[in-house]
Chains A and B, each alone.
Chain A
Amino acid sequence: MTHSRPLLTLLILIIAALTIFPVFGDEFYQELVIRLMIMGIFAMSLDLLIGYTGLVSFGHAAFFGLSGYMLAIITPETEAVSIWIALPFCLLVTALAALIIGWFSVRTSGIYFIMITLAFAQMFYYYFNENQYLGGSDGIFIFFKPTIFVGDIQILNLNNPQSFYYFVLTSLIGSYLVLSVILQAPFGQVIRGILANEKRTRALGFNTQHYKLVSFVIAGTLAGFAGFLEAAAGGIISPAHLGWHESGAIMMVVILGGMGTLYGPILGAFVMGFLQDYFQEIWSAHWLLLFGMFIIFVVLFLPKGIAGLFLQTINRKGNGK
């Protein structure tokens, strides 16, 4: 994934806008943007599967929600937990879950892959939905955000809304960079090969199932990171976070934003978030109707999503070269 100059400009503009936003935006919108940045991380993690490896996972929210529950479990009722304990714990559990689910799932393909990932996610959903100890269908509160101490010094106080905002922004940028690096590396070349032509990739000497599994684990773990942030941001995690609605919504974000681009899903998260906010304002009872029409419009007229529209525009302008 090479960054052309217009794309680099776009990314810098996005980062700049997000960086100065808390100075102007009021608290409500700041809260909203935090959630959208988290959604961006979640969507990028799914893009690694759908847009780069060709694995259409319909159960990706399982990792998102599972990690949130892990934060709830490891956070005591009366005090905060150190991020150095909580984050590795959440990511490790999610990675393990992704390894197990992935091990079964990558053996299938096409519609069967969609069904098996959905089935696993629904198992998680019903488990947490029935578990009274974890709040059942109401979910469970997380009263304290994790603390970040090095020695006795607090590096960052996540309870401060602005600090938390910048923590999430850094996470978003960091996730983007890590994924970009992975996609440039030999591993990234192989999964692109799998997406384009799996049989040929195998015949060239790659055990494609291994690569699909590793991609699944990376994506699941990153979704777990987003879930960790989501649970910390909202202070609550519920079965809805890992249901098929959530898996479907995040898939929509990826498709809307543009598969196989990484930045597209981030844009998709923002467009989706603000449109939801806007549609709810203008026609609160039937906002989903407006939303559905918008999705149909995008799928029909912008098959490559918002990122595709962007690429089209810059290609038209830069046709000279």
Chain B
Amino acid sequence: MAESVDLWINGTPIRVCAGTSVAAAVLLSGEPVFRRSVSGEKRGPLCGMGICFECRLNIDGVEHCRSCQIVCREGMQVRTE
């Protein structure tokens, strides 16, 4: 469990335990808002299992990644939308 991973969330470095999902890392960084809805509402994760797409964000330049289904990797660049 001691192994850790360093990544970037909105330009800020964060260290998490290996195996942490990107969604958990974003919440851990203190940010509950993952994206803006089509009418501009603030949204965060709902289902936690890849169904609802509310936790989607930009990972390493790729838009609309479901952050709850992706495990943090070293040096990952994560941006909330």
Indicate, yes or no, whether A interacts with B: no
- Chain B residues in contact with chain A, CB under 8 A? none
Residues of A within 8 A of B (CB): none
